[in-house]
Structure 1
Amino acid sequence: MPLPRRDAWLTAERVERTTCDCSLCVKKNAVMTKVPEDALEVLQGEDLLALYEWNTHRAKHYFCRRCGIYVFHRKRAALDHFRVNVFCLDDFDPETLPLRETEGANMTVVDPKPRAEWPGPRTPGVSG
């Protein structure tokens, strides 16, 4: 299988597509690909990005102020990675990557058995 194409602004190889069943992702019909933080560079239009945050304000969701397209986000549980909307990648066929469904609808702010790599809150009432 050939390696997925690289874009000037996204220098990571794409391994898979992911979906999430949380209310935000379902409503925006998000299909994302994960990239390391240093593999994403906004080359132009950064001033047009709008930021959406809620709850602990750890997750950062970016939209275009001009057209409303959901571009990318930083998850609260993986602060060293971004998830990029695969439909924002020019000349890229998302169907070339396998799709993995993830569960977000039942994700809580506090996990009784958090993984070490999750930097989120550890006790009720303490936000990150």
Structure 2
Amino acid sequence: MNKDIGEINGACHCGDVRFHMTLSNGLHSARRCNCSYCRMRGAVAVSAELADFHILQGAELLTVYRFNTMSAQHFFCSRCGIYTHHQRRSNPHQYGVNVACLEGISPFDFDEVPVSDGIAHPKDDPTGAGPRQAGVLRFIPAD
């Protein structure tokens, strides 16, 4: 897998929401989060600056979910229910984009994915210490 990908297209499961993006740091930015919501969603996300993410089709079909501080916006296709991307709480100038929605990419293509500590979120830390890595998710092939 080429982790140095620059631009890529993506779509939800039904294909009614389509987008094009330039990745901030290729697939090197892939990570998961252990907050209550991300833990249940289970997605691997990569980063794109807001200006580098463009909805090509189906913007009117996107539904937004917010919780807790209501800061992050999590976007879903209202037809098929797939999470496509979210505007980050930790960096509101970036989107986290679901790698499973990217053309030719699967979350199972990654050997290891860092896990960000969303339980102890940097925005909740009065010291401003910033994000911590909570661990690493390793994918082990089945025999």
TM-score (norm 2): 0.70
RMSD: 2.3
Aligned residues of 1:33 and 1:85 also touching (Cα < 8 A)? yes
Shift of residue 111, structure 1, vs aligned partner:
2.0
Q: Contact conserved, 2:47 with 2:94, CA < 8 A, in 1?
A: yes
1:10 is aligned to 2:21: yes
CA distance in 2, matches of 1:103, 1:29: 14
Residues of 2 paired with 1:84 and 1:14: CA distance?
11
Between the two structures, name the one with larger relative contact order (CA 8 Å, sep ≥ 6).
1
- Answer whether contact 2:7 2:22 (CA < 8 A) is retained: yes
How many pairs align?
116
Structure with more of its chain in strand, by fraction: 2
Match of 1:113 among 113, 127, 133: 127
Is 1:85 the counterpart of 2:85? The answer is no
The two structures have a TM-score, normalised by structure 1, of 0.78
Aligned ranges 1:37-48 → 2 under 5 Å: 37-48=50-61
Q: Sequence identity, in percent?
A: 31
List gaps (5 residues or longer) in structure 1.
117-128
Query: 1-side partners of 2:122 and 2:128: how far apart?
Result: 11
